Every structure is written in structure tokens, then in C-alpha cells.
Structure 1
């Protein structure tokens, strides 16, 4: 297993993080597409992941209506001390008007609920699941800071924030001497590279860890889909069109993935994961698992070494149009430095500075 430091915490997490949306809970509107694994099934996968060196597990209070945290708490037990355990709050967890969001009222209740379901006395990484437009960031950060000071939380992070929301939160933390976000969890995939415009440069600049959710775009890059649709009609992506992507463009990406996968005698999913793992700004890639053989396959991505030419192929087929102001800032970037000085404009635009 490979490990990366989580932001500037000094804590190391596995490059692959076990996602738990498939654990526990009842049927969802799309049936069992996401998964509702039992405690016994979850125990097998958690043990398999830990045996492979995975020490990072991510869940949320909304997954399976709390069922994911409950099942995870049942199976971790003595394993807990060897896991960097992350969960999230913000989504609606009840019908009441305050059972949602990041108000101090709900946030403190949500922490207690997660601790109880997870059968633990602390959460290693507590993340706000989305931006709350109704609760001032000052209030959210103060509540999170209190949770850290109370010993219920070790580190705090955010998910699905825009770059300006992340940097504003970091500024408030610095100004008011509050705990700062050490990580941001974002959708990042060959099929979804929006975060490269603003979020990644901000995260790299501020030494905030990047955790990637849905690296296979809801299974679209798994190898189960082609121009004729899904080979498995019960696959998650065949039932739930999430996250939204440009599927026409993604089919072109899948063609290249298949070609490269054939060269390495692996599956397209492993190539898609290997592309993400090759990117130095990525701290950890969150993989959702329904069956042990899926985890085995995803783990092989760690040993899938893509050549420079293959990385260029994937970059070319998945590249988006450069947005403003990035295009103007990189337009004459090379003229800024003497000939021969290492200043690749594409890397600079992603928040990297010249060597």
C-alpha cells in the first residue's frame, strides 16, 4: 500500500480509501443499486481492505439512513485503533426543520449521533458534506473547533466546496484561531475534471489534502459500459445517472481506457484509478465496494504503472476546454522565465510552482 500525508497533519492515510455508501441501510429509490451490505458482508470487505494496508475509511450520517455508520461500528470493534475514520454531516437525516445543515444545533447533535452509531469516542476526520448557504462559516468553524477541543474530533474537512468557499473558510480559521480544514473531498475523475480549474490550485496552494469521490463516475468507467449501454442492467450507473457527466465524451474516454487496459492486461477501472493515483495533488481515492472481487481489482491499480505516452493519451481524450481566467494566465506563461527553465504551464495552472 502507498500512503500520503493528510494535508499538513502529520497523519498518513492510504492512497486508496474505503468508501462505505454500500454498507447497511434499506432499499433506496433505485432499489439496491448502491448497495445495502449486511454486517457479515461488510466485515469481510473491511478485513480484506485492512489486510491490503488500507487504513482510511470514509462514511456519512446520510448513507443508508445511518445504516452505513451503524454497520461499520459493528464490524470495526478492536480494529478501530488502526483506522483513520472519517464521516460527514449536513444532509437531511430526519423530517424536522433542524435535522439538516450545519447549524450549531444540528452539528452538535450530528456528532453525537455518529459517535453512537460508529461505537467510538472520537472521529478522526469530521467533514461538512456540502456548503451550507444559511449558516455563516464563522459559526460552522467555531462549532467544529469546539468539537476538536472536546476531544470528539481530531481533524476537520469539507466536501463539495468551491475554491472561494474553501479559501474563505481557511482565512476565517487563521483570523479567529480556529481549527482549519485539512482536506477537501471532491468529485474528480477522467470523466469529471472541473476541480482542476479552481479547487485543486487552491487546495495545493493551501496544503489541503484532496480526497476524490466517485473516481469511476458512478461506475461509468468500470468497464461495464460501452456504446451499447450497460452489460449489467443492474449496475448502479444503469439505474442512477449520478454524478452527471458528458456521456458522449466519456464514451471516447472509455475507448482509450479499454485500449490501454488491454496493453496492461487489466480492467479499464484500474487504468482510470491509476491515472488519478499518478496525480501528485491527490491524497487519496475513495473506492466504493459491493463485492470482495471489486476490491481486489481496484487494489491492482496501485501496481498499474502508466507510461508517459499513456498518461498523455488519457489527458488528451479527457481534457476540457480551458476556462477564464486560466487561459489568459497561461497564455504567455512560458515567456515569464528564461529558456530552459522548467515551468510547464499546465502544471502551474494546477497550482504547482516551478522546480
Structure 2
């Protein structure tokens, strides 16, 4: 396993990060602990969660993922692991999240951190991320900025001041962003530098063969600000395995949960997936490993977040660390991208 420095921090994170958003919905606590044990045995030291997990989120399951991890974490050597979690932002109607008060302000940050620490059964969180911006932005498949949707939000400086207090208290070590834009990345970074506030060290955005939006302005922003991408959904919600080409598998998320993963149901997704699966088959590579190896190959990716509902899937995904794509394969991938650019942004 390769370990990479995450932004301007002393965190050395494994090339693969274990995503946990199925724990408590599709995975039992026993299955979750089995996955955690296996991942750590393979050299993974980086585990990502969120207060709203598992997803699809609900009042009944809210916080379960962190609780499952906490029951496991209390038996581990804490300083050998890097634990990341996230605070849910406003704008998605989750009334069960902190009683409906979801602004990224001092009171909510303090409560969310304290609640996550309790569920995780730990004294500190290594990386604490804003799950999506406090302000309005197009997100989760939306691509058009609509000025009429702009509403009052917590100023970035106030968010950073609140995080500074929590860091000073020793409850979190570093902060990161998620589902953020180039404007947001530069505003957080510049505000921190100008005022001596905590600098964000990471951004967690979707990135895969079907969604290479990060290649553009976001890549420029993280390059100049020295921020690492934690790429989520490298398998494009499982579509890049090819399993949806001939229908919807009964136990797959898109089959189980209505209106889930809508960005992957857009036109041209199936054609693009079929083309990538064909590349994998011609080179005797599993489509899943091709997709993950591509994400890992990008210069701006510090760690690739993988998740699975079965141990067999997890083993295949982790084994992708042994795959280095040839120039020939990368050239074929770029040719498909030219034909089907970002079908699931």
C-alpha cells in the first residue's frame, strides 16, 4: 500500500480509503467490522464516514455508521488510524439532523463534532469535513448555477473561526471540504491565509470515468492551494462495473432505493460504460479495477474512497492497488472520454 501526504498536513493516508456509507443500511454491524478488519489488514489506515450516514439517510438510521465504526474503533490502536467524518450542511431537508438546525455555524459545528466523537468513541477526529457547502451551490448531479437560488449563508470567515476553536480544543486535527466548487476552494484557502485561520487540506468530490469535471478548474485550484482530492464514487455508483448494462441487479442500490443515483441515469451513461467495460475486457482487467486504477493514476488524487456491500467486492476493489494502467490503456480511456465527455457530472 502506498501512503500519500494529505495537503499541508502531517497525515500520511493510504492510497485507498475505506468508505462506510452502507454501514447501518445495507451492511450489518458484523459485516461492517469484517470489512474494517480486512481493510486494515491490507494496509488501509484511512476510514471515511459522515454524521448523516448511512445513505439513503433517514431519522431511523442517522448516525448509525459512526456508531458501528465506534464499536470497532474502541478496540483498535487509535494513533495508527486516520478517521474522517463530516458535518451535514443546510438545504436538503433532513429535519432529524440536529433538530433541523444545520447551518455551518459555531453552535452546530460544536454539537456535530461532539455527537460524532461520542458515536465514534474517540477523543479526536483526524479530518473533519463540510459535507456540502453552507451556501447554495449546484450539487449531486446538478450542473447549472441559478442566482435566484442564492440565500443568506454563514460567512466563510465565521465557519473557519468556529473550526479554529474546535481545533484549539483538541477535538479535530484538520478540516476539509466536500462537494465544493473552485470558488469555494479559493475562498476558504485565501481567507485562512489572510487571517491566520485553519487551512483546508482536502476536498472530497465525485470523480470517475463518467464524471471528470474535476480535471478543469477544480484541478487548477487544488494545485495552487496544495489541497488533496479524496475521490469518491470511483465506480460511478457501481455503474462502471458494468452490472447495470443488462438491467438492475436486485440487491444493487439503484434497484433498492428509488430516486437514488440519478446522475448515473442520464443519456449516454450506458454507452460510455459499455465502452469502458470493453477496454477492460480487451486487456483482461476487471471493469471495477480499471475504473479505480484510473482514478488512482490522477496527479491530484491523494486517496481514492472505495466502498462495498460484500467482502468479495471489497477485496476486488482493494486489489486495484496492484494495477498500473499502461499508456496504451490511458490513451484508449481518453478516446472514450472524447466521445462521451462527462455523461454523469
Aligned to 2:38: 48
Q: Give the aligned CA root-mean-square deviation in angstroms.
A: 2.0
| Matches of 2:276 and 2:316, distance apart in 1 | 15
Regions of 4+ moved over 4 Å: 95-98, 320-323
TM-score of the pair, normalised by structure 2: 0.85
Q: Distance in 2 between matches of 1:78 and 1:55?
A: 15
TM alignment of 1:1-355, pairs within 5 A: 1-24=1-24, 35=26, 37-64=27-54, 65-79=62-76, 80-91=78-89, 92=94, 94=96, 98-133=100-135, 134-226=153-245, 228-230=246-248, 232-238=249-255, 239=257, 240-242=259-261, 244-245=263-264, 247-319=266-338
Deviation at 1:193, TM superposition (A): 1.2
Secondary structure at the aligned position of 1:225 is classed as coil
Q: Decide whether aligned partners of structure 1 residues 95 and 7 sit closer, same or farther in structure 2, where only a CA change above 3 A counts.
A: closer
Query: What is the CA deviation profile of residues 85-112 of structure 1, one whole-angstrom value per residue up to 9, with x for unaligned ones?
Result: 0000024462666531312111110000
The secondary structure found in structure 1 opposite 2:305 is strand
Tell me if the contact between 2:240 and 2:277 (Cα under 8 Å) persists in the aligned partners.
no
- Distance in 1 (alpha carbons) for counterparts of 2:176 and 2:332: 33
Could you tell me how far 1:114 is from its partner in structure 2? 0.3
CA distance in 2, matches of 1:305, 1:321: 23
Cα deviations across residues 289-332 of structure 1 (Å, max 9, x unaligned)?
Answer: 21111111001211222211111111221248999xxxxxxxxx
| Alpha-carbon distance between aligned partners in 2 of 1:194 and 1:237, rounded to the nearest angstrom | 23
Query: Matches of 1:246 and 1:4 in 2, distance apart?
Result: 34
CA contact (8 A) 1:218 1:243 kept: no
Q: How many residues get paired?
A: 311
Q: List runs of 5+ in structure 1 lacking aligned partners.
A: 26-34, 324-355
Structure with the greater alpha carbon radius of gyration: 1
* Whole-angstrom distance in 1 between the partners of 2:79 and 2:260: 37
Q: For 1:257-289, what per-residue CA distance to the aligned partner results, in whole angstroms no more than 9, with x for missing partners?
A: 222322443321110111111111111111112
CA distance in 2, matches of 1:106, 1:10: 27
SS of corresponding position for 1:265 = coil
Structure 2: runs of 5+ lacking an equivalent: 55-61, 136-152
